[in-house]
């Protein structure tokens, strides 16, 4: 796709970018719901603070993913308008590391029970 600055992009590319953004937002909402559920529904663990740490970790990761999703959407949209190659995203490794950390905290909490 070669287009100059300000040229109209093929709508299919714009819609694909929006679908990707919405998938990231759904992931963020899932993490947010998980954090709220852990804080509200999970019985307190024997060791103080683990439930709160787990809930806050999910919620912070949700905020990071939502903000990163917007930034990625905006960067891809701008690159397509300029006709530049698309840049990679740090969102995938960030999400993988974040979920690994949350999983380790949850495993420790369960094992200490």
Is residue 99 situated within a structural domain?
yes
44 vs 15, higher pLDDT: 15
Chain centre to alpha carbon of residue 20: 11
42: left (phi over 0), alpha (psi -120 to 50) or beta: beta
Question: Looking at the chain, how many residues does it have?
Answer: 113
Domain of 22?
Answer: 11-112
Is residue 6 situated within a structural domain?
no
Tokens for 58, please give them.
């999910």
Is residue 1 situated within a structural domain?
no
- Confidence at residue 7, expressed as pLDDT on a 0 to 100 scale: 64
Is residue 4 situated within a structural domain?
no
Domain count, the chain: 1
Is residue 86 situated within a structural domain?
yes
Is residue 46 situated within a structural domain?
yes
Helices (H) and strands (E) in the chain, counts: 3, 0
CA distance 54 to 7: 46
Tokens for 112, please give them.
């200490």
Secondary structure class of 49 (helix, strand, coil): coil
Is residue 65 situated within a structural domain?
yes
CA distance 25 to 39: 21
The pLDDT of residue 81 is above 70: yes
pLDDT digit string, tens, across residues 6-35: 567 889 999 999 999 999 999 999 999 999
Is residue 2 situated within a structural domain?
no
Check residue 42 and report its DSSP letter: S
């Amino acid at each position: 796709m070669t287009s100059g600055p300000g040229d109209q992009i093929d709508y299919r590319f714009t819609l694909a970018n929006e679908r990707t953004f919405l998938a990231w937002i759904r992931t963020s909402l899932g993490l947010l719901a998980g954090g709220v559920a852990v804080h509200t529904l999970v019985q307190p663990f024997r060791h103080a603070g683990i439930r709160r740490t787990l809930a806050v970790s999910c919620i912070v990761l949700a905020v990071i993913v939502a903000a990163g999703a917007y930034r990625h959407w905006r960067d891809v949209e701008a690159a397509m308008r300029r006709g530049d190659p698309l840049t990679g995203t740090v969102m995938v490794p960030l999400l993988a590391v974040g979920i690994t950390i949350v999983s380790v905290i949850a495993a420790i909490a369960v094992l200490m029970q």
